[in-house]
Structure 1
Amino acid sequence: MIRQLRRVLGPEHQGQYTRFLVWATIYGVLQGLAVSLLVPIARNLADGDWSGAWRWIGVLAVAVVCCGIAHYIQAMRAFGVALVVLRTMHLNIGDHLVTLPIGWFAGKTGSVAQIASKGTMAAGGAAAHLMTPVVIGIAAPASVTVSMFFFDWRIGLALLIAAPLIALAARAAAGLIARSEHAAHEAAAESSERVIEFARCQPVLRAFGRTSDAGYPPLTEAITTQQKVARRTMIESVLGLALNGVAIQLVFTALVVLAAALALGGDLTGIDLLALLGVATRFVQPVSEIGEFGGALRQIRGELTRIQNIMDTQPLPEPTRPATVTAPGQVELDHVGFGYEPGTPVLDDLTFTAPPHTMTALVGPSGSGKTTITRLIARFYDVDAGTVRVGGIDVRDQTTEDLMAQLALVFQDVYLFDDTLRENIRLGRPDASETEIDEAARLAGVTEIADRLPNGWDTRVGEAGAALSGGERQRVSVARAILKRTPIVLLDEATAALDPENERFVQRSLETLREHATLVVIAHKLSTVVNADQIIVLDEHGRIAEHGTHDDLLARGGRYAAFWLERSSTRGWRLEAAPS
């Protein structure tokens, strides 16, 4: 675990951690030495050698003072290390997470939350509260054992033999305690994931009468599994502590029997026996604490391993010498193949180009890979075959910063932060002026929203924008894209579920974006599709079935014509009352 903590701290803080360990070791050695000094003091008192006894008492006083000083220094260093561990881990994890591909996060929300909260706190607590007794539990008995060889080699030898036996028992107990730790973590992560899902999906669940966790089987199952794992962990923890306690008592009993035998044989005086029993007690106590903390240490090692696994996850590779954009605003997919799972392709040999300042609409059935295309353009994933070029350059030859500076993304599921309306728009370009924010808001129809909110622009929109409707959140997302003023804008079903008023604002915003940007749009609304410069029609296998303008595709009478006919016919539907 010491090596794991050193890796987490990094080279710049390893010296601080080493100094803490040195002072903890000094504290433990001084503890053992102070206890061992009881033996010569007792012998001198028994022999009536008062001057010798006072000399040893003086040495003991010095040892106690030094022990107190070492205790204070190591305690302060322990807290310092704990704070550094917490700060370093949070910063390092956060910095590393933003470099990982978006696809890595699928299904890991609960696990990452557990690691970033419980895992980091546990590791910081281990540095402050667990490592000190563990180091003392090794250093103090070692000091006592060495000292005993100077006073009675037989007791020293017995302690030397007892130490590894206790250590083996403690190791076995720790292994028993920690055996279910991985399963407990996985169960807790799954339960957290389901709780988050349960909270987020309340509108859907309530609409169908699922108002309790019993009405949502995944959450009920996750909680039940966590309870079963917790019971098993508790049972194994009790067994581990019992094993460790029995081993400690057996060793202590053996030491008492040996000391008593030596006393009865005349090799030890009664005062020697009492002093040695006190030393034996001080030998056993810190060793027993190692066993008590062993299970916790194994759990901390598990948390550190999971943290390190995140840190060892390789980010998408970035070039050391990024290429310079040669065709601003151009998007090109060249014989692209991709699948989320091996052997299950989503896109197959896909090739098309979206020229600068044009609008390309992606049309096709569900599962044809429309959203996947936008994700590959934004490099949420790397392609399995072929090349995706943005600005004329392979996205793999650009840094994430350079690539995202060319893109603005407007997706159907919009996330707003629990901040003011203005600050949520400012996210598009943090250095934008108030005038630029106001203009972007006006074009996207957000000004009208601000005018009727209780605190206007200073109204907080709530977590995930809960204070706004879905259409209003979409307008804010479009305002971000307008404010960012990138050469390329990706829109995934931006108008799919909007009412006429919100759709009107979004459509007007698209026209504004089209004046200075290339648009790649996934859309099912006829008004969006018909205005595209080119339409890419995908089939069920992620291949291009047709491409061309609206009029060209209608004239061919293929998939797109059938799609258009279907949408045109449904547009004229209306509901009428049944005859009485």
Structure 2
Amino acid sequence: MAPTKTNNRRSADRDLSPDFSAITRGKHALLHGAFAEGRGLKLGASTALLMIHQVCEALVPVLIGVSIDKAIGPSDLGALLWTLGGLAGLFLALTYSWRHGYRLTNRVYGFGDHSLRQMVIAKVLDPRATGKQFGAGRTLNIATSDTAITAGLSWLVSQMSASLAALITAATSLLLISWQLGLLVLVATVVFLVLMHFITAPLERRTHLQQERAAEATGLATDLVTGLRVLQGLGATRTATERYKETSRASLQAALGTAKSEALFSTVTLGLSAMFLAAITWVAASMTLAGEISIGQLVTVIGLAQFIQEPLSSLAYYPAGLAQKRAAAKRIAALLNTEVGADAHLTSTDSAVTGAVAFSELLVRGEGNHPDIRLLPGSITGLRTDARSARELTVLLAGRTKDAGARLLINGVAAGGLAALRSTVFVADHDAAIFTGSIRDNLHAPEPLDAVLGATGLAEICARLPLGLDARVGEQGSALSGGQRQRLLLARALHQRQPVVVLTDPTTALDSVSEARIAAALGTLRDAALLIISDSPLLLGACDTVVDTTSLHTAGVNP
């Protein structure tokens, strides 16, 4: 049965062009992940809950000291019961606040990471982008590692706030016991943070360098794997391997440098914390022997001194953590602010032509001595031209140039909106991506058309596979040969809903016999207006009309 497709297309609900004006610098990307889209209120609530958790933990040694002085020392059963009840209430409050504070912070982090990743992907998939601005490896690293690091600001904010709350509670408790002890804790905290600031400076620099080197290594690895077949064809695999080894070694050295700095940071932190604890314990013990504080207060002081080691370490790490997130946010902002071929008339949604109007004609006005190209429903038009002109034409038909509205007429009306153009014309890139999944997933058609599968030879390939259309294609189509990839891409293009389909060299990876079969079969598919850009005699011979512009160049005419 011949496939049936309709030329009446739905209008795009909105323009596909995303707005990135909110992310102009790295700090905006940083704040977006933690506070935008209603996440600020959730982060505030989660921070408050985690602060309550830390305050309750700081009060535990205080209440234990009180129970020693008020209940255990005097053997007062009533006081023992109410202090035990107070401890139970503290543990109930700190458990509840930690559970829900952790859950809320994790939600803020997860949705912030997702939002940043969506913005990165939307930018890369912007219809006006030519594809040259973004490398696959660089984009992968930014869309995974950098977005997660940047969104981690939510954890940094909540944990730093909780650490401050713990220190304030501990210092206040010590001041109530003895102003000398409280003052000692405050002075020691300030000295500790100042010393750690100087220690974390090299850690910040090395962390930033490690992120850069890791991003380079990841990007290069991704690009090399993507172009492995090309490298093998050129005999350049050894050179590519050596280049990756150099980049990987640089990344390893940066990681080792960061590890050394982190080891130094941990060692100094533990050493200073131990010295701090010893000093507090010695002063408190001396005051106990002198009768200035009680046994219960001594227990409280030692417990608080042990407790505040973790908040102090967290506060000391704050500059390094913030520097890491700022570096990642700057890379996100740099990608989001990359210029694309934006133009006012391409983003207008008030076009006079939409896909909802029955398609009758697409006219491509030629420039210079180039002739016009007229595409009609059910027609097959061939174009034989040079590579540069072919590339310029596909960019024009994809709406990535500023003069698309002036040179493209849909049903006799200028293509004034990108949405209208995208709903009318589908441009099948010669090197389009194969998505990880099955053949059916890549066709993006739950019920693929038998005629298209037969015409492209994909039905024959599926017949040899145990799972047929549900056979897996591997990572980026790695399980397919070059010819199979091209058949799949051609079938995917012919399954599109747009009334105009543009194919660029759709059979270069096929042998002449397979190419002849596909050329003959294309003549039976008269549902869309096909524009085939190729210099293949077999494909051009199957076209109703052929436009040949190569003579203009051989005659020395500049189009």
Q: Which TM-score band (shorter chain)?
A: 0.7 to 0.9
Gaps of 5+ in 2: 1-26
Whether 1:330 aligns to 2:362 is yes
Structure 1 304/63 Cα, relative in aligned 2: closer, same or farther at 3 Å? farther
Looking at structure 2, the residues matched to 214 and 139 of structure 1 have their Cα atoms a distance apart, in angstroms, of 56
Looking at structure 2, the residues matched to 268 and 28 of structure 1 have their Cα atoms a distance apart, in angstroms, of 25
Aligned-pair CA distance for 1:24: 0.7
Looking at structure 2, the residues matched to 332 and 138 of structure 1 have their Cα atoms a distance apart, in angstroms, of 66
Aligned-pair CA distance for 1:25: 0.7
Q: Is the 8 A contact 1:173 1:291 kept in 2?
A: no
Q: Which of residues 516, 534, 539 in structure 1 aligns to 2:547?
A: 534
Q: Deviations over 1:263-290 (max 9, x none)?
A: 6877556775564344333333432344
Q: Which of residues 62, 70, 77 in structure 1 aligns to 2:94?
A: 70
Looking at structure 2, the residues matched to 390 and 240 of structure 1 have their Cα atoms a distance apart, in angstroms, of 66
Looking at structure 1, the residues matched to 29 and 527 of structure 2 have their Cα atoms a distance apart, in angstroms, of 57
Instruction: Report what 1:568 is aligned to.
Output: none
Q: Is the 8 A contact 2:434 2:476 kept in 1?
A: yes
Instruction: Report what 1:196 is aligned to.
Output: 222
Q: Is the 8 A contact 2:363 2:372 kept in 1?
A: yes
Instruction: Report what 1:412 is aligned to.
Output: 430
Report SS of the residue matched to 1:193: helix
Looking at structure 2, the residues matched to 483 and 3 of structure 1 have their Cα atoms a distance apart, in angstroms, of 38
Looking at structure 2, the residues matched to 3 and 264 of structure 1 have their Cα atoms a distance apart, in angstroms, of 56
Instruction: Report what 2:252 is aligned to.
Output: 227
Report SS of the residue matched to 2:495: helix
Q: Is the 8 A contact 2:277 2:305 kept in 1?
A: yes
Looking at structure 1, the residues matched to 208 and 183 of structure 2 have their Cα atoms a distance apart, in angstroms, of 39
Structure 1 483/105 Cα, relative in aligned 2: closer, same or farther at 3 Å? same
Q: Is the 8 A contact 1:8 1:308 kept in 2?
A: no
Looking at structure 1, the residues matched to 369 and 60 of structure 2 have their Cα atoms a distance apart, in angstroms, of 78
Structure 1 176/58 Cα, relative in aligned 2: closer, same or farther at 3 Å? farther
Looking at structure 2, the residues matched to 243 and 104 of structure 1 have their Cα atoms a distance apart, in angstroms, of 48
Instruction: Report what 1:240 is aligned to.
Output: 265
Report SS of the residue matched to 1:498: coil
Q: Number of aligned residue pairs: give it.
A: 515
Report SS of the residue matched to 2:450: helix
Q: Is the 8 A contact 1:331 1:389 kept in 2?
A: yes
Q: Which of residues 414, 418, 422 in structure 2 aligns to 1:398?
A: 418
Looking at structure 1, the residues matched to 290 and 113 of structure 2 have their Cα atoms a distance apart, in angstroms, of 59
Q: Is the 8 A contact 1:137 1:286 kept in 2?
A: yes
Q: Is the 8 A contact 1:248 1:284 kept in 2?
A: yes
Instruction: Report what 1:471 is aligned to.
Output: 483
Looking at structure 2, the residues matched to 75 and 353 of structure 1 have their Cα atoms a distance apart, in angstroms, of 68
Residue identity over aligned pairs, in percent, reads: 21
Looking at structure 2, the residues matched to 188 and 203 of structure 1 have their Cα atoms a distance apart, in angstroms, of 24
- Give the TM-score normalised by structure 2: 0.75
Aligned-pair CA distance for 1:188: 1.9
Aligned-pair CA distance for 1:181: 2.4
Map residues 93-492 of structure 1 onto 2, 5 A cutoff. 93-94=117-118, 97-100=121-124, 101=126, 102-103=129-130, 106-119=133-146, 134-204=160-230, 216-249=241-274, 251-252=276-277, 255-256=280-281, 258-259=283-284, 267-268=292-293, 272-273=297-298, 275-291=300-316, 295-296=320-321, 298-300=323-325, 302-303=327-328, 306=331, 319=347, 321-325=349-353, 329-332=361-364, 353-357=372-376, 359=381, 361-364=383-386, 368-379=388-399, 381-383=400-402, 389=408, 391=410, 397-399=417-419, 402-425=420-443, 427=444, 430=445, 437-484=449-496, 486-492=498-504
Structure 1 301/145 Cα, relative in aligned 2: closer, same or farther at 3 Å? same
- Give the TM-score normalised by structure 1: 0.73
Structure 1 420/72 Cα, relative in aligned 2: closer, same or farther at 3 Å? same
Q: Is the 8 A contact 2:398 2:425 kept in 1?
A: yes
Q: Is the 8 A contact 1:40 1:56 kept in 2?
A: no
Q: Is the 8 A contact 1:421 1:458 kept in 2?
A: yes
Structure 1 141/370 Cα, relative in aligned 2: closer, same or farther at 3 Å? same
Report SS of the residue matched to 2:552: strand
Q: Is the 8 A contact 2:60 2:90 kept in 1?
A: no
Amino acid at match of 2:351: A
Aligned-pair CA distance for 1:414: 4.8
Q: Which moved more, 1:78-87 or 1:1-10?
A: 1-10
Aligned-pair CA distance for 1:219: 1.5
Structure 1 372/220 Cα, relative in aligned 2: closer, same or farther at 3 Å? farther
Report SS of the residue matched to 1:321: coil
Looking at structure 2, the residues matched to 419 and 284 of structure 1 have their Cα atoms a distance apart, in angstroms, of 50
Whether 1:546 aligns to 2:536 is no
Aligned-pair CA distance for 1:374: 0.9
Structure 1 22/35 Cα, relative in aligned 2: closer, same or farther at 3 Å? same
Looking at structure 2, the residues matched to 293 and 43 of structure 1 have their Cα atoms a distance apart, in angstroms, of 38
Q: Is the 8 A contact 1:361 1:523 kept in 2?
A: yes
Q: Is the 8 A contact 2:30 2:153 kept in 1?
A: no
Report SS of the residue matched to 1:11: coil
Structure 1 96/61 Cα, relative in aligned 2: closer, same or farther at 3 Å? same
Aligned-pair CA distance for 1:66: 2.5
Report SS of the residue matched to 1:85: helix
Structure 1 88/455 Cα, relative in aligned 2: closer, same or farther at 3 Å? same
Structure 1 50/352 Cα, relative in aligned 2: closer, same or farther at 3 Å? farther
Looking at structure 2, the residues matched to 370 and 2 of structure 1 have their Cα atoms a distance apart, in angstroms, of 40
Q: Deviations over 1:243-301 (max 9, x none)?
A: 43454345445545654675687755677556434433333343234435764565355
Looking at structure 2, the residues matched to 486 and 260 of structure 1 have their Cα atoms a distance apart, in angstroms, of 83
Gaps of 5+ in 1: 336-348, 538-544, 548-556, 561-580
Q: Is the 8 A contact 2:493 2:501 kept in 1?
A: yes
Looking at structure 1, the residues matched to 535 and 130 of structure 2 have their Cα atoms a distance apart, in angstroms, of 25
Amino acid at match of 2:395: R
Structure 1 65/122 Cα, relative in aligned 2: closer, same or farther at 3 Å? farther
Whether 1:558 aligns to 2:555 is yes
